[in-house]
Amino acid sequence: MSERRAAAASSPATPEPSACEPEGEDRDGDWYEILFECDRADANALCALLEDALSEGGGEGAASLTIEDARSEPPALPDTSDPLEPLPGEMPLWPQVTVRALHRDPIDIQALNARLPGAGGLRQRVLRDRDWQAAAVEDVHPIVIGDLWIGPDRENPPPDRAGRKLVFLSPGLAFGSGRHPTTRLCLERLVANPPRDQDVLDYGCGSGILAIVAAVLGAKRVLAFDIEPQALEATKRNAERNRVSDRIRTISDPKEIEALIPGSFSLILANILARTLVEIAPRLGRLAAPAGEIALSGILADQSDRVISAYAADFESRLAATCDGWSLIEGRRLPD
């Protein structure tokens, strides 16, 4: 796909796919997963190399890149951190990590191994649709950002629910539980600057977490765009669960995006990978309202300047925040 995102980080291992599949089973929902282990300090650089390799020759690239604990060791957090809720900008740092990349097509694993020095135990496996859905649901755990509480469908509301904004999430096959640094950066931005009475675009909506939080925080209308059917299904289901479906519209056809009236959105959110953000810069510039704002993530720290440059024609942009090697870029639409 062309719209790619950074997926939620996790600790539990994804279930191994079954070796025996019924004959004639529809495999359209299957994905391929690349896994390797490395030192935490090398993870972001290796992720960038992996994304380049998967995108070569017209490849779709990674649908998600996930960094998780490889050894079930306690995470390294600053001494001042609350172990139950890291401060903004803080995420667990494990000494040894597993990197997972989800993509649609198989790749030559031997050739890839030569391009990723330091990637231990590099391997590829097919991930059946039903296995990924089970793993995604299992991975969602409550998080708290200010007055915002996000938890899975099965979770009971927190005992201190008074005054909190509650969001219940069931991601299914879509991406985004709120625990990945890129999603958290976007959520922190929404909590700090609620989009009250604004028209919002969530470009690459995944599970719908950003669209739903925007609506819960007072957005007038939200358009959630993604080219993956599973993402739109998850977004619709989660919007209904949170009673905001009357303010969230979903679309999947890029032609519908192109047909939108210029200047339609006061706020545009895009938590996808840097390569795609660069490609769609003119599109987002056209869709932003006068003085409209963008919040972009899915960007590795060393990719920030490139993304800011891509948006310079239409936005005054800046590096607004970083978290565990990932960046949030904010911008305001320049006058015509």
Distance CA 26, CA 231 (A): 19
Instruction: Work out the angle at residue 297's Cα, subtended by the Cα atoms of residues 294 and 298, and round it to the nearest 5 degrees.
Output: 150
**DSSP characters over 132-158:** HHHHHHHH---EEETTEEEEETTSPPP
Please give the structure tokens belonging to residue 36. 């390797």
Mean pLDDT in the chain? 79
Q: According to the model, what pLDDT value does residue 42 have?
A: 86
CATH (one of 3.40.1390.30, 3.40.50.11540, 3.40.50.150, 3.40.1050.10) for 175-333:
3.40.50.150
Contact status, residue 245 vs residue 236, Cβ threshold 8 Å: yes
Please give the structure tokens belonging to residue 244. 């905001």
C-alpha neighbours within 13 Å on the C-beta side of residue 5: 31
Is residue 181 very low, low, confident or very high in pLDDT (cuts 50, 70, 90)? Answer: confident
Whether the per-residue pLDDT at 172 is higher than 60: the answer is no
**Share of residues in the chain with pLDDT > 70 (%):** 75
Please give the structure tokens belonging to residue 90. 């803080």
pTM, full prediction:
0.67
Whether the per-residue pLDDT at 133 is higher than 80: the answer is no
Contact status, residue 179 vs residue 188, Cβ threshold 8 Å: no
Q: According to the model, what pLDDT value does residue 197 have?
A: 97
72-86, 148-162, 257-271: which is most confident = 257-271
**Share of residues in the chain with pLDDT > 90 (%):** 41
Comparison of pLDDT for 99 and 288, the residue scoring more: 288
Rounded to the nearest 10 degrees, how much is the dihedral formed by the CA atoms of 317, 200, 261, 231? 110
Rama region for 208: left / alpha / beta (φ>0; ψ in -120 to 50; rest): left
| Average pLDDT, integer, range 122-150 | 71
Q: According to the model, what pLDDT value does residue 18 have?
A: 29
Q: According to the model, what pLDDT value does residue 277 have?
A: 95
Exposure string of 212-244, with b = 16+ CB inside 10 Å and e = fewer, is: bbbbbbebebbbbbbebebbbbbbbbbbebbeb
Comparison of pLDDT for 237 and 330, the residue scoring more: 330
Distance CA 327, CA 336 (A): 27
Is residue 327 very low, low, confident or very high in pLDDT (cuts 50, 70, 90)? Answer: very high
For the chain, domain boundaries:
31-74+91-127, 175-333
15-24, 87-96, 120-129, 130-139: which is most confident = 120-129
Q: According to the model, what pLDDT value does residue 236 have?
A: 94
The one-character DSSP state at 6 is P
Whether the per-residue pLDDT at 3 is higher than 90: the answer is no
The fold adopted by the segment(s) 31-74+91-127 is: Alpha-Beta Plaits (3.30.70)
Q: According to the model, what pLDDT value does residue 138 have?
A: 53
pLDDT digits (tens, 9 = 90+) for 198-254: 999 999 998 899 999 999 999 999 999 998 887 898 899 999 999 999 999 999 998
Q: Which helix (H) or strand (E) holds 229?
A: helix 229-241
